[in-house]
Amino acid sequence: MKAHDGMYIGGQWRPAAGPDTIAVVNPADEQVIAHVPAGTADDVDAAVRAAREAFPAWAATPPAERAARIAALRDVLVARKDEIAETVTAELGAPLALSRTVHAGVPVLVAGSYAELAASYSFEERIGNSTVLLEPVGVVGAITPWNYPLHQVVAKVAPALAAGCTVVLKPAEDTPLTAQLFAEAIHEAGLPAGVFNLVTGLGPVAGQALAAHEGVDLVSFTGSTAVGRQIGATAGAAVKRVALELGGKSANVILPSADLAKAVSVGIANVMSNSGQTCSAWTRMLVHKNQYDEALALAAAAVAKYVPGERVGPLVNAKQQQRVRGYIEKGLAEGARLVAGGPEAPYETGYYVSPTVFADVTWDMTIAQEEIFGPVLSILKYEDEEDALRIANGTVYGLAGAVWAADEAEAVAFARRMDTGQVDINGGRFNPLAPFGGYKQSGVGRELGPHGLSEYLQTKSLQF
């Protein structure tokens, strides 16, 4: 695969400060496909300086002109969608069909939404005798994970640019090639030099240097709760703004009146998509005790369609594969029963995990409490609606969820009582404008749409 051997800083590809590189591995066949530079604190410093230098002019650029650049960026993402999909498949392992529709497709929607918002958003409001100016926060340090390599980048960079901020991105070490393609797209779209900068590298080195850099005004992080906590502490000590999009353990609540077959099959698809590497995945399915056996039979039939290597890709790396297999073993050790799958890897080569469904899972088991980040679903039994609510809300997380019922109002009434940031009612469709983010330990702040834009703005009140 094509790779740059430098960093994209100040509008050009520059040699990295140090000699170290990161090998990029295709998780489907374990072959090294490229090397990228492993950034150091010096690279981060150069990138932050470039972003600071570019900030005043970009912040002063009329929103309509910023909108035009973001629209141009969207157009490049459209023009290069095949290359993007192939790159995501090569470094993440996602099946090509998923890479085309989701990994390459969703960022086009999100970039398009911010092209429109930049043009239409009111960066000024009247409150009584005050005019409130909504001004860009400054330089953004964006740290992203590998699970949706382009979406996670665009969900931060597009609103930051719309707001008038400049950005330094440190993408995940497992998926740097997609980030390099994005930097090329930024360049082609004609963004001014320094408005977007890319430093590839390792989290504890380049990521840590970016989060701690005094020239960064806002750190926007997506990833694990453990690292998020550390980044929040670093940012807090420096009185920097921080946005954290962390893990989840979302509940798919199937109320007795629901269309059980549909709820189960959509629930399985939701968890198996992207090999279960989705922070908002509904990894706990809650079923009424009278429908439990029927739900298990439906789940077993539904999951059989998810064949590893066909509809389900590998996990991103060997460590994640081992981690997920460890969770499956833990589930068995704690007394859960396998309906499908198991801890054995289905193939010798490639970081595959068998799509796994557990029955007889109780709310306090490890597999019902911790984020597994693999193709593993736990099906839990509830006694009545109060019990379902207690189980649904009974984790430290609160990112997403689903409720199914015959009557929409019944599902909404239940959703109102859930401690979570997003709920799909009877399989509701993805909305790129709806705020996305966590309650509780799933994070701080919101991404997407106007709420996502406001994360990158600060207010200045003028009194008259």
Site residues for ligand NAP per CB under 6 A: 143-147, 170, 172-174, 202-204, 207-208, 211, 222-224, 227, 230-231, 245-247, 279, 320, 371, 373
Residue whose CB is less far from ligand NAP, 99 or 278: 278
Least Å from the CB of residue 139 to ligand NAP: 16
Catalytic residue among 91, 173, 184, 245: 245
Closest distance of CB 5 from ligand NAP, Å: 18
CB of 375 to ligand NAP, least distance (A): 13
CA atoms of 198 and 175, how far apart (whole Å):
13
Nearer to ligand NAP, 164 or 171 (CB): 171
DSSP per-residue codes, 98-114: HIIIIITHHHHHHHHHH
Query: Coil, strand, or helix at residue 151?
Result: helix
Q: Give the nearer residue to ligand NAP in terms of CB position, either 203 or 375.
A: 203
Strands of 269-384, DSSP E:
284-288, 337-340, 356-361, 376-382
* CB closer to ligand NAP out of 3 and 412: 3
Contact 349, 318 (CB under 8 A): no
* Contact residues for 140 (Cβ-Cβ < 8 A; gap 6+): 51, 156, 160, 165, 166, 167, 168, 216, 217, 218, 219, 220, 456
218-222 and 241-245 as β-strands: parallel, antiparallel, unpaired? parallel
Q: Around Cβ 458, how many Cβ atoms within 10 Å?
A: 15
Nearer to ligand NAP, 146 or 306 (CB): 146
Residue 245 annotated in active site: yes
- Smallest separation, CB 144 to ligand NAP (Å): 6
Query: CB under 8 Å to 56, separation ≥6 — which residues?
Result: none
CB of 41 to ligand NAP, least distance (A): 12
Residue 458 neighbours by CB under 8 Å, 6+ apart = 134, 135, 136, 137
Residue number with the shortest CB distance to ligand NAP? 203
**Which of the following is catalytic: 279, 371, 447, 455?**
279
Q: Give the nearer residue to ligand NAP in terms of CB position, either 147 or 426.
A: 147
How far apart CA 294 and CA 156 sit, in angstroms, is 42
Q: Considering the complex, what minimum distance in angstroms separates the CB of residue 370 from ligand NAP?
A: 8
Chain Cα centroid distance, residue 171: 12
Under DSSP, is residue 28 helix (H, G, I), strand (E, B) or coil?
coil
3-state secondary structure of 20: coil
Q: Which residues of 38-58 are buried (b: 16+ CB within 10 A; e: fewer)?
A: bbbbebbbbbbbbbbebbeeb
**Identity of the residue, 137 or 231, whose beta carbon is nearer to ligand NAP in the bound complex:** 231
Please identify every residue annotated as catalytic. Answer: 245, 279
